[in-house]
Amino acid sequence: MANVAVFCSSSDKISPSFFDEIATLGRGLAEGGHSIVYGGARVGLMGRVADSCLAAGGEVFGVIPDYLNQPGITHEGLTDLQIVDTLLDRKRIMIEKSDVVLVFPGGIGTLDELTEALALEQLQQLNPEVVILNYLDFYQPLLDYFVELQERGMISQDLESLYKVFDSSNSFLTWLNER
């Protein structure tokens, strides 16, 4: 059983298909006996993954900065909630508590979390495996850019050694449950 750090959008203003897909992820993690470590919010995709995991009997551990710990933002029904000083602290703790870092579609904060995990992986300072969930080809331009960076000598490692890519929650869950 794995602790999976889930980095994703906190926005409520995105396509319903992303909400459906992340609900599949949350349920599937709980059904597989895995737990979620995430940003502690009740909004956007963050709230949906937590709610779907909890509803399926799973455990969800939130990590939220003090300045975001507000009514309407903080999820109040989590297995555990840790309040930290900064977003940097949140990211570090989430990564430390996880066996797998999963990056679901999201915005600038999610990109920051992805690149931090990849930089740590590149420097061999990261224990969890990094997974990019490329749902609806959301990350395809970024993945193509990583290939270009490698072709230009900016990334020396094989990209497959830095991260794994799955196109759906179900394909990720199959891999996770078989590892």
Angle 3-50-14 (CA atoms, 0-180°, nearest 5)?
A: 120
Token pair for residue 135?
A: 């749902």
Specify the pLDDT at position 94. Answer: 97
DSSP helix/strand/coil, 54:
helix
Contacts of 47 (CB under 8 A, 6+ apart): 41, 75
| pLDDT on residue 86 | 97
pLDDT at position 127: 87
The C-alpha atoms of residue 111 and residue 89 are separated, in whole angstroms, by 16
In this prediction, residues 117-127 reach a mean pLDDT of 92
With bands split at pLDDT 50, 70 and 90, how would you rate the model's confidence at 99? Answer: very high
Q: Is the pLDDT of residue 90 over 90?
A: yes
Query: Is it the case that residue 115 has pLDDT exceeding 90?
Result: yes
pLDDT tens per residue, range 41-66: 999 999 999 999 999 999 999 999 99
Strand order in the sheet with 129-133: 80-84, 60-65, 35-38, 3-7, 100-103, 129-133, 164-166
Residue-wise pLDDT tens digits, 168-178: 999 999 999 99
User: How would residue 160 be classed by pLDDT, with cut points 50, 70 and 90?
Assistant: very high
Helical H runs in 56-168?
Answer: 87-96, 108-122, 140-151, 159-162
Domains defined for the chain, CATH in brackets:
3-173 (3.40.50.450)
**Which class for 60: exposed (0-12), middle (13-18), buried (19 or more C-beta within 10 A)?**
buried
157: DSSP letter: S
Question: Residue 126's pLDDT is what?
Answer: 85
Integer CA distances (angstroms), 73 to 10, 47, 62, 132, 161, in order? 9, 9, 12, 25, 36
Average pLDDT over every residue of 141-152: 98
CA 111 to chain centre: 10
Asked if residue 142 has pLDDT above 90, the reply is: yes
